[in-house]
Structure 1
Amino acid sequence: MGGDAIAVVGMAGRFPGAPDVAALWRNLLGGVDAVHDHTPAELRELGVGERLIADPAHVPAHGRLEGVADFDAEFFGVPDAEAVRMDPQQRLFLEQAWAALEDAGHDPAARDGIVGVFAGSSLNRYFLFRQFGNPSATDDWESLLLPGSAADYLPAQVAYRLGLTGPAIATQTACSSSLVAVCTAAQSLLDYRCDLALAGGVSVTEPRFRHTPGGLVSPDGRCRAFDAAGQGAAYGSGVAVLALKRLEDAQEDGDQVLAVLRGWAVGNDGAARAGFAAPGLDGQAAVVAEALASAEASPADIGYVEAHGSGTLAGDAIEVAALARAFGDGLAPGSCALGSLKTNLGNLDAAAGAASLIKAVLAVRHGIVPANLHFRTPNPEIDFASSPFFVPVENHPFPAGPRLAGVSSFGLGGTNAHVIVENAPEEAPRAGADGGWHALPVSARTPEALREALTRLADHLAAQVAAGAPPRPDDVARTLAGRRAFARRAAVLCRDVAEAVPLLRAAAGAAPPDHPAGAPAELVARASAWVSGADVEWPGTPGARRVSLPAYPFQRRRHWIEARP
């Protein structure tokens, strides 16, 4: 791969029906429809009015995000009164930005390089439905539009709370916001404006939408992308964040490389469309062709396109026609899979593009394209027979060889983004684990969080051991040693991760256990000193790499202004 490649070194997110990225992947492989049908009682609890509930055009379906009212304000040093006023989108993105850094194995306080933040968010509906005009919130409405609420301040809020000094740039291009943020972050890395970048988006919506013929919201909230019955999709809430580095730096630093961004492009449809809200074939085709050229990839190399997939007859037909034009003639029919995450989650608006990219990263990493839900009869306006595209209704394996996927996200108003993602290059061979001793340090801000962190790590390692793919203990040790050290601490010593599991469980259940017999006295002394609060330098293992481990267990509490009846 060329020097312009960008490595995905960490991912985090919360999605309808999935509290993290691992759960999202399980749901995608399991064909889970995570769109929730709200009952009238649930709608009333959200503050939805009786007139809208009774409206036959109202769509009570929604990609619901559990716990959207909850936030670990203490972790980020946010006073409770400020947390209640803060846009929940900013709170969600803050937590997942930290989780993405932990997934990448980097503590920004310990880094020499510059970390940037690039993000977009949806309209602040919390302000509209719970604060505006509510005397119990404030009489100073202008103050509510300042840093805790306005979309402009989302990346700056993250930079302030996490101590990041690189570019902090908000991208607001409707549904394409988060994928445009990824493209902006990737270019900033190539320009050496930062050395590590967080990129993504967040959206918090509620089931207050109505179906209108030809509109974006389907009558039952299900997205039937590329299907003859397509009438739009439900909206949903979610947050998605990716940690990015220059590929050469990631390999040199021993980072995990989940996938590689080979090329990207951003453009606009201009005036060549039926109206401001209508998609443009020429603009979409141009941005896909530009991304392919940027990646120096042939259309024949692409095994899967994660499409925008709005689920509307006209929108889907224009998108496939644009893809066919960009891909050109001569490709074998049925050679490229076509799918849309909206069929599983609904439309996550400003978070949609980054969530789709996470799906594509997982697909090229594991070599599986998840089934596209709700596809029965092809959209009659799409000429699948003369195109290379097909819609998989079952999980579909990638063809042999390098695995490349394209990801599209198109914003209302015509701003289009497309990214080419490829499976990670093969890791350089290294010697097997030497069977030596390693320290696994775990810390948290509170005793409750420490117990949960130890339990999560034990469960994660046990599951990998049971699956026959245990991580190397030196990799786990290096990753944990690179995380922020908080006041509440525990450390276990082990020679392999199977040995570590019961020790971690014991540490979570009561006082830390005695270290195993035979553990080196010098390592025991370091572990004891660290648990007592000292700063220690953990012994490194040559060749150890960072790996994905469970993120910090936030201790969330409800910070919320209830909707008025």
Structure 2
Amino acid sequence: MSEYDDRVAVVGLAGRFPGADSVPELWRLLRDGVDAVHDYTEAELRQLGIAPGLLDDPALVRSGGVLPGGALDGIAGFDADLFGFDAPDAALLDPQHRLFLESAWEALEDAGCDPRRYDGDVGVFTGISTNRYFLFHLLGNPAASDGRPDDWEAQLATRPGADYLPAQVAYRLGLRGPAMAVQTACSSSLTAVCVAAQSLLDYACDLAVAGGASVSLPRHRHTPEGLVSPDGRCRAFDAAAAGTGYSTGAAAVVLKRYADVDPDRDRVHAVLRGWAVNNDGAHRAGFEAPGADGQAAVIAEALARAAVSPHEVGYLEAHGSATVVGDAIELSALHQVWRTAGAAPAGSCALGTVKANIGNLDAASGIAGLVAAVRAVAEGTVPAHVQFHEPHPELGIETGPFAVPRTLRPWPHDGSRLAGVSSFGLGGSNAHVVLEQAARPAPASTAGWHLLPLSAHSPAALAEACRRLAEHLETAGPGTHLADLAYTLATGRRVLPYRAAIAAHEPAEAAAALRRAAAGPQRPPLPAAAGPELHAAAESWLRGEDTDWTSYLKNRPGRVCTLPAYPFRRRRHWIDPPAHRAADRGGPA
């Protein structure tokens, strides 16, 4: 590396995905080879507001990714009060905004950052899909018009779309860095990560939240040799590939200049070594057709920026369109880049895509792939491609350095683990990121008593936070250090009005005390043996004061760790589509 360190650390991860309510749940789903794409029942399709005219169409794709909680409840629920929305405004808000607001909150928690106490500017960079909720549920709907059913121009001005999401996040979470919408079709969210990383290196902000969201209801139709798979599954590179299948989800990462990482306090999931964004230009078959030269150029540029040879990359998270043409062009671009470094051993780079498990998240597909690759380099494990059974005969995939894993496998290379992540948008906007595993520092001493402060927006949420943390301690295993929990809770969580505090010197004792706190309403007394300094900090916290955690923790060990996320108190905020759409034949997906 040069004297100037241009690496960027991934310090926070969060998301909600089909079949997985968090990043750890997504990783378990990938490790276990779970097909999380859902086959809708007729009742679910009607509940989602799919009109009879479309339900009668035999070409309707009746499958897609569904968030935990159910086909409708997974996207209709939102903790409006926590984010400062009243119920009518929450019902009019694009569900994609709601999903990303929650993901941004959780990603900042995972990074150990409370923006209100962070000494620096936090930027936000987002990419989301079309606001289909507005198109199919609100537009022309008297229930959404505030008594003015004909004033649709006013509705368009007050129902913000993609360009308003980053400003919404900045306002609701108190972020004062750049707030930018990045819209490049399917590559939007990974492009947002690249823009965020460059903004950090340009010192436009000191911390960056980046990612995207997509809500896709089942209104897609399959046509022979078309873009959409008949059963909603993405079988990239497989002989049975028949198109992509759209899903719903959201994810966010928090990024920080690697040079600013505190090795004693910060936790780094992975490192961005290089990234690049370009467009295919006119050198392709048509506007909707991808270009091999453009894809090869963006991958080569990212690798060059990272000072990495293609042969060092052990895993590549592919775009994986699951169309024969798209897969062939992507493989052609990869071979073009790998050939520049000379011959590579067969099967030396594993090739997969998270789309095989959860479907295509459209504008959020790139951030989903990045999250999966971050976990892969951190764990040193390559998940199986759950939809891959026989290689497509026209692709020649088994004749080069790439191998699609059919089972969970260890990292192909010794030494530092490197991965690439590709995301290509319709219209030719390409993004590629090169990831490297982060160093794992030795754990600090955790002997002695530790104070665990918790807070929430309501008594019910506080009790649930205590229960979740107790369950985490009961199941986390021997690598759990109370010093890390104490540091993360004290410095990296939003300070909210309802509070609890427990003291313990080992995890089982802490879990039992948290169970007692959850049962409330009385505050369990702190053990006398915890000492006067800990008692004073706890009393200050419980009185609702602005506790001086910096001084309290100055000489205490502990670094940021992953803990259960805030327990959002979601309520349904949803407006059904207008009755006059009964003859809806589909339209834009």
- Place the TM-score, normalised by the shorter chain, in its bin: over 0.9
SS at match of 1:93: helix
Match of 1:548 among 562, 565, 581: 562
Match of 1:324 among 292, 312, 335: 335
SS at match of 2:251: strand
Match of 1:189 in 2: 200
Distance (Å, rounded) in 2 between the aligned partners of 1:526 and 1:56: 65
Deviates more, 1:37-46 or 1:348-357: 37-46
Distance (Å, rounded) in 1 between the aligned partners of 2:185 and 2:155: 22
| C-alpha displacement of 1:430 | 6.0
Aligned-pair RMSD on alpha carbons?
Answer: 1.4
- For normalisation by structure 1, the TM-score amounts to 0.97
The question of 1:20 aligning with 2:22 is answered: yes
- Correspondences of 1:287-326 after superposition (within 5 Å): 287-326=298-337
| 2:134–2:159 CA contact under 8 A, matched in 1 | no
Aligned residues: 560
Match of 1:500 in 2: 510
| C-alpha displacement of 1:144 | 3.0
- Taking a change above 3 Å as real, the CA distance of residues 352 and 30 of structure 1, as seen in their structure-2 partners, is same
Match of 2:448 in 1: 436
Distance (Å, rounded) in 2 between the aligned partners of 1:234 and 1:431: 46
SS at match of 2:18: coil
Match of 2:91 in 1: 84
| 1:127–1:149 CA contact under 8 A, matched in 2 | no
The question of 1:108 aligning with 2:112 is answered: no
Distance (Å, rounded) in 1 between the aligned partners of 2:557 and 2:309: 35
The question of 1:357 aligning with 2:367 is answered: no
Match of 2:138 among 116, 131, 135: 131
| 2:10–2:272 CA contact under 8 A, matched in 1 | yes
- Correspondences of 1:234-253 after superposition (within 5 Å): 234-251=245-262
- Taking a change above 3 Å as real, the CA distance of residues 137 and 480 of structure 1, as seen in their structure-2 partners, is same
Distance (Å, rounded) in 1 between the aligned partners of 2:247 and 2:335: 29
Match of 2:488 among 464, 479, 484: 479
Deviates more, 1:519-528 or 1:330-339: 519-528
Match of 1:254 among 265, 270, 277: 265
| C-alpha displacement of 1:513 | 2.0
| 1:204–1:237 CA contact under 8 A, matched in 2 | yes
Match of 1:205 in 2: 216
Match of 1:384 in 2: 397
Distance (Å, rounded) in 2 between the aligned partners of 1:270 and 1:312: 21
SS at match of 1:77: coil
Match of 1:393 among 396, 399, 406: 406
| C-alpha displacement of 1:536 | 1.9
| 1:85–1:144 CA contact under 8 A, matched in 2 | no
Match of 1:142 in 2: 153
SS at match of 1:267: strand
Q: What is the letter of the counterpart of residue 403 of structure 1?
A: R
| C-alpha displacement of 1:162 | 1.1
Deviations 1:190-230 (A, max 9, x none): 00100000000000110110011222211111111101110
Distance (Å, rounded) in 2 between the aligned partners of 1:237 and 1:152: 20
SS at match of 1:534: coil
Distance (Å, rounded) in 1 between the aligned partners of 2:503 and 2:557: 19
SS at match of 1:243: strand
Q: What is the letter of the counterpart of residue 331 of structure 1?
A: A
| C-alpha displacement of 1:91 | 1.2
The question of 1:264 aligning with 2:266 is answered: no
| 2:141–2:577 CA contact under 8 A, matched in 1 | no
Distance (Å, rounded) in 2 between the aligned partners of 1:57 and 1:536: 60
Q: What is the letter of the counterpart of residue 481 of structure 1?
A: A
Match of 2:463 among 437, 451, 468: 451
Q: What is the letter of the counterpart of residue 418 of structure 1?
A: H
| C-alpha displacement of 1:416 | 0.4
Distance (Å, rounded) in 1 between the aligned partners of 2:46 and 2:537: 56
Match of 2:185 among 142, 164, 174: 174
- Taking a change above 3 Å as real, the CA distance of residues 430 and 49 of structure 1, as seen in their structure-2 partners, is closer
Match of 1:228 in 2: 239
- Taking a change above 3 Å as real, the CA distance of residues 382 and 531 of structure 1, as seen in their structure-2 partners, is same
| C-alpha displacement of 1:346 | 0.8
Distance (Å, rounded) in 2 between the aligned partners of 1:431 and 1:95: 31
Match of 2:436 in 1: 422
Q: What is the letter of the counterpart of residue 335 of structure 1?
A: S
Distance (Å, rounded) in 1 between the aligned partners of 2:444 and 2:325: 55
Distance (Å, rounded) in 2 between the aligned partners of 1:526 and 1:378: 61
Distance (Å, rounded) in 1 between the aligned partners of 2:452 and 2:473: 12
Q: What is the letter of the counterpart of residue 562 of structure 2?
A: S
Match of 2:387 in 1: 374
- For normalisation by structure 2, the TM-score amounts to 0.93
| C-alpha displacement of 1:564 | 3.5
- Taking a change above 3 Å as real, the CA distance of residues 431 and 46 of structure 1, as seen in their structure-2 partners, is closer
Structure 2's unaligned 5+ residue stretches are 580-589
Distance (Å, rounded) in 2 between the aligned partners of 1:144 and 1:333: 57
| 1:436–1:495 CA contact under 8 A, matched in 2 | yes
| C-alpha displacement of 1:397 | 0.7
Deviations 1:369-396 (A, max 9, x none): 1100121111122122431000001011
Distance (Å, rounded) in 1 between the aligned partners of 2:182 and 2:75: 22
| 2:15–2:23 CA contact under 8 A, matched in 1 | yes
| C-alpha displacement of 1:147 | 5.7
Q: What is the letter of the counterpart of residue 495 of structure 1?
A: H
Deviations 1:271-327 (A, max 9, x none): 111111111110001001001001100111100000000111111111011011111
Deviates more, 1:416-425 or 1:43-52: 43-52
Q: What is the letter of the counterpart of residue 490 of structure 2?
A: A
Distance (Å, rounded) in 1 between the aligned partners of 2:249 and 2:418: 26
- Taking a change above 3 Å as real, the CA distance of residues 316 and 559 of structure 1, as seen in their structure-2 partners, is same
Deviations 1:127-151 (A, max 9, x none): 0111111122113322333364311
Deviations 1:464-515 (A, max 9, x none): 13xx322x22211111001222111110111122321111111111223222
Percent same amino acid among aligned pairs?
A: 58
